[in-house]
């Protein structure tokens, strides 16, 4: 397939534009999505093409516009609700969980809520504790949601298009630091990536490193160091979806490598890595030659000082150390 | 407007009493009466059945407030939508949902309107225009505003009848929804079912500022107070508001002064209001008794006719109970269905 070089930002914009052209029920709402062209310029040009009926600037009222989005989805539309940052989704989390995620079940399947909640998640650069939280494990905890976290521009495009077409609420966790990164993206308006499927970004024999979103970069960097310095051939899995987790891909990889290290920006307790470790106990116990190790964000609110911030967020060296440990090379 | 540009509360925002829908015919009076009495008889039985243990959990009865939802639905058109809080049994019945499906849901049976998975507080019937049944106080207000957004987006001419209690009015998300509804001129009627107590806390102890009908004034939403114990007053006020909303006038707020004769839920000690207050409301201000007196006074019906209606409704409720009791519980496999569209989550 023909590939085009695109930034993650452009891929997200194109995904929304293509789906809005395809389905008149799709609309975008959120703070600064229209006239301002997106707080991070993700919705650049959408107001010009689709007009204010379908690109709706909201006041700063997270729970209000989230609930309005949910009601619109109940009413048959397909809203894309942008959170300027997922940190602000905490204001709206009651509507996300109690209204969007639970209603299909509570209604015995009578009402669906086809809605996408998207925006940047996790740490950016020097914005400190209240603007730097990873919500992956919060949302991945909840039945009734799908939780997606793209890394590359192709991930962003294929998964966002799939999320918009999905009949259920999808939490779509982007990363501000990736918006400007360029990747190859298939040049096809029907390019979709399946929700619930992970991908092996770098095949390897000796250890499996599992990551999502920006931590895929960290894992790949670590894999490079490990090969160069230790001769360890690491397999890097990009989870892409956190709920439902692609357990078969993880189990198949661990069955080959016999070792697993998970990497995430979020906090350790009840995190995505904790879930992966438990799943490997349940599904791959006999394949493991070492305990599963987690590399996570430090168990503190994210600090501002540049040196402390770096210490709090997983770095390639942290992953390298964890891999050496599970490979008994420490 | 004052010289410094501040809009005076109350100026130009209180809805004028217009012609309304005109005088109801005898047939319509009887229909309103029947709709209210169905809810009354249904809820009385639900309360009794709760005592036997066949209904569990939280169960919030609508007894005393029947005029509100019946007056609202009297002005609804096909395609309109309705949402409310967890005190929702009456709303489903007023939307025309089969009492059997409502009672079966209360008993947690698979024939219930939510297949036994929602219970008292989480009932839905999209075909009847009823979108819940929401258990979190005030959460239905942005949701109802979103349904109005969808009506406007599609241009289907519909509107949302969004019910909320006096307790919900102090939730922040309600103010957020009012603001956006006014900003975007959405077709939504906010019907405040003001029964004076948010659980055990009176409005006076919970709400600062002026009248509840004026809560939308800051956003330019006209509002007015309505005698929520008079179904004809409700019907007239709603008809007027609905006509203005359908004409593109944006949201309206009606503060329906009502009263619940029973506790907040089945486990209410009722220590926050006097027996005398409740007794006086029951004896002097029962919406069903008031309409009955009017119908008899006007000769719209006689005692024999009333008795016949009551007998028929009691039979409907008895049939609903028998149906629900005879219905099976969900099968165990249904624990895992309906989480996502494709079934298991």
Nearest CB to A59; choose among B117, B141, B179: B179
Give residue-wise pLDDT tens across range A3-35: 999 999 999 999 999 999 999 999 999 999 999
Distance from C-alpha of B148 to C-alpha of B325, rounded to nearest angstrom: 37
Give residue-wise pLDDT tens across range A269-307: 999 999 999 999 999 999 999 999 999 999 999 999 999
pLDDT value of residue B16? 55
Distance from C-alpha of B256 to C-alpha of B195, rounded to nearest angstrom: 8
Q: In what order do the strands lie in the sheet with A293-295?
A: A199-202, A234-238, A207-211, A260-263, A293-295
A152 contact B CB<8A: no
pLDDT value of residue B268? 85
Q: Is the ipTM of this complex over 0.85?
A: yes
Which residues on chain B are in Cβ contact (under 8 Å) with A69?
146
Residue A276 burial by Cβ neighbours in a 10 Å radius (0-12, 13-18, 19+): buried
Which residue in A89, A98, A107 has the most chain B C-beta atoms within 10 A of its own C-beta, making it the best mutation to test that interface? A107
pLDDT value of residue B343? 59
pTM score = 0.95
Residue B324 burial by Cβ neighbours in a 10 Å radius (0-12, 13-18, 19+): buried
Sorting pLDDT into bands at 50, 70 and 90, what band is B267?
A: confident
Nearest CB to B142; choose among A56, A95, A144: A95
A87 contact B CB<8A: no
* Nearest partner of B61 among B73, B81, B72, B45, judged by Cα: B45
Q: Which residue of B has its CA nearest to A58?
A: B180
Rounded mean pLDDT of B104-121?
Answer: 97
* Nearest partner of B194 among B259, B279, B280, B286, judged by Cα: B259
Checking if the pLDDT of A268 tops 60, the result is yes
* Separation in Å, CA of B291 to nearest CA in chain A: 35
* Nearest partner of A236 among A251, A247, A221, A258, judged by Cα: A221
Q: Which residue of B has its CA nearest to A77?
A: B150
* Separation in Å, CA of A278 to nearest CA in chain B: 19
pLDDT value of residue A261? 98
Residues for chain A: how many in total? 330
Checking if the pLDDT of B260 tops 70, the result is yes
pLDDT value of residue B12? 57
HSE-up (13 A, CA, CB side) for residue A233: 7
Distance from C-alpha of B166 to C-alpha of B143, rounded to nearest angstrom: 17
Checking if the pLDDT of A81 tops 80, the result is yes
* Nearest partner of B88 among B43, B150, B33, judged by Cα: B43
Rounded mean pLDDT of B178-193?
Answer: 98
How much of chain B, in percent, has pLDDT values that exceed 70? 93
* Separation in Å, CA of A28 to nearest CA in chain B: 12
Checking if the pLDDT of B75 tops 90, the result is yes
pLDDT value of residue B10? 45
Chain-centre distance for alpha carbon A214: 9
A106 contact B CB<8A: yes
Checking if the pLDDT of B3 tops 50, the result is no
Checking if the pLDDT of B2 tops 70, the result is no
Checking if the pLDDT of B8 tops 50, the result is no
Q: Which residue has the tokens 């029964």?
A: B195
A224 contact B CB<8A: no
Distance from C-alpha of A189 to C-alpha of A196, rounded to nearest angstrom: 21
Distance from C-alpha of A87 to C-alpha of A140, rounded to nearest angstrom: 15
Lowest mean pLDDT: which of A75-79, B19-23, B30-34?
Answer: B19-23
pLDDT value of residue B165? 97
Rounded mean pLDDT of A100-108?
Answer: 97
Checking if the pLDDT of B9 tops 50, the result is no
Q: Which residue of A has its CA nearest to B343?
A: A109
Nearest CB to B339; choose among A61, A66, A143: A143
| Helix H or strand E encompassing A234 | strand A234-238
CB contact under 8 A, B112 and A76: no
Distance from C-alpha of B16 to C-alpha of B29, rounded to nearest angstrom: 24
Rounded mean pLDDT of B257-275?
Answer: 90
Distance from C-alpha of A99 to C-alpha of A78, rounded to nearest angstrom: 15
Greatest CA separation found in chain A? 59
* Separation in Å, CA of B250 to nearest CA in chain A: 16
| Count of CB atoms situated within 10 Å of the CB of A10 | 21
Collect all residues with Cβ–Cβ distance below 8 Å to A93 and sequence separation of at least 6: A138
Is A141 designated active site?
no
Checking if the pLDDT of B158 tops 60, the result is yes
């Amino acid at each position: 397939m023909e590939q085009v070089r695109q930034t993650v930002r452009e891929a997200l914009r194109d995904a929304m534009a293509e789906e809005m052209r395809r389905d008149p029920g799709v609309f975008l709402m959120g703070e600064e999505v229209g006239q301002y062209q997106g707080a991070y310029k993700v919705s650049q040009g959408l107001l010009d093409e689709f007009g204010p009926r379908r690109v709706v600037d909201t006041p700063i009222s997270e729970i209000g516009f989230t609930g309005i989005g949910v009601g619109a989805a109940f009413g048959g539309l397909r809203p894309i609700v942008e959170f300027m940052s997922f940190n602000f989704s905490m204001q709206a989390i009651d509507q996300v969980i109690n209204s969007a995620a639970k209603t299909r079940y509570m209604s015995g399947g009578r009402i669906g809520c086809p809605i996408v909640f998207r925006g940047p998640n996790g740490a950016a650069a020097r914005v400190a504790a209240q603007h730097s939280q990873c919500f992956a494990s919060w949302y991945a905890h909840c039945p009734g949601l799908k939780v997606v976290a793209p890394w590359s521009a192709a991930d962003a495009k294929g998964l966002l298009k799939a999320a918009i077409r999905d009949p259920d609420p999808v939490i779509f966790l982007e990363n501000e630091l990736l918006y400007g990164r360029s990747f190859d993206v298939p040049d096809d308006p029907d390019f979709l990536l399946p929700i619930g499927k992970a991908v092996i970004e770098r095949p390897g024999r000796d250890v499996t490193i599992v990551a999502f979103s920006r931590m895929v970069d960290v894992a790949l960097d670590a894999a490079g160091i490990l090969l160069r310095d230790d001769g360890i051939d690491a397999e890097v899995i990009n989870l892409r979806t956190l709920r439902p987790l692609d357990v078969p891909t993880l189990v198949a990889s661990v069955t080959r490598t016999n070792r697993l290290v998970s990497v995430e920006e979020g906090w350790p307790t009840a995190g995505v890595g904790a879930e992966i470790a438990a799943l490997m106990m349940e599904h791959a116990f006999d394949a493991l030659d070492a305990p599963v190790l987690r590399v996570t964000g430090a168990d503190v609110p994210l600090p501002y000082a540049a040196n402390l911030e770096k210490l709090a967020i997983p770095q390639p060296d942290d992953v390298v150390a964890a891999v050496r440990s599970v490979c008994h090379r420490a | 407007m004052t010289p410094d540009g501040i809009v005076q509360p109350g100026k130009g925002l209180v809805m004028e009493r217009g012609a309304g829908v005109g005088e109801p015919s005898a047939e319509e009076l009887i229909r309103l009466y029947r709709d209210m009495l169905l809810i009354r008889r249904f809820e009385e039985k639900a309360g009794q059945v709760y005592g036997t243990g066949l209904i569990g959990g939280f169960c919030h009865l609508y007894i005393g407030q029947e005029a509100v939802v019946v007056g609202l639905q009297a002005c609804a058109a096909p395609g309109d939508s309705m949402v409310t809080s967890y005190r929702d049994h009456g709303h489903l019945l007023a939307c025309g949902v089969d009492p059997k499906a409502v009672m079966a849901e209360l008993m947690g049976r698979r024939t219930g309107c939510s297949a036994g998975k929602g219970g008292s507080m989480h009932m839905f019937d999209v075909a009847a225009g009823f979108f819940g049944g929401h258990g979190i106080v005030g959460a239905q207000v942005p949701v109802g505003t979103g349904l109005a957004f969808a009506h406007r987006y599609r241009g289907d001419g519909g509107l949302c009848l969004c019910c909320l209690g006096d307790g919900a009015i102090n939730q922040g998300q309600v103010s957020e929804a009012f603001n956006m509804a006014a900003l975007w001129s959405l077709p939504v009627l906010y019907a405040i079912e003001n029964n004076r107590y948010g659980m055990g806390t009176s409005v006076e102890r919970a709400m600062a500022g002026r009248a509840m009908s004026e809560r939308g004034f800051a956003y330019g939403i006209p509002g007015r107070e309505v005698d929520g114990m008079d179904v004809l007053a409700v019907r007239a006020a709603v008809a007027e508001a609905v006509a203005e909303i359908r004409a593109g006038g944006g949201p309206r707020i009606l503060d329906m002064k009502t009263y619940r004769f029973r506790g907040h839920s089945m486990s209410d000690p009722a220590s926050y209001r006097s027996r005398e207050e409740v007794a006086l409301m029951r004896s002097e201000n029962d919406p069903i008794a008031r309409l009955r007196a009017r119908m008899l006074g006007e000769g719209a019906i006689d005692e024999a006719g009333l008795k016949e209606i009551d007998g028929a409704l009691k039979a409907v409720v008895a049939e609903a109970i028998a149906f629900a009791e005879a219905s099976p519980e969900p099968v165990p496999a249904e624990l895992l269905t309906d989480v996502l569209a494709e079934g298991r989550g």
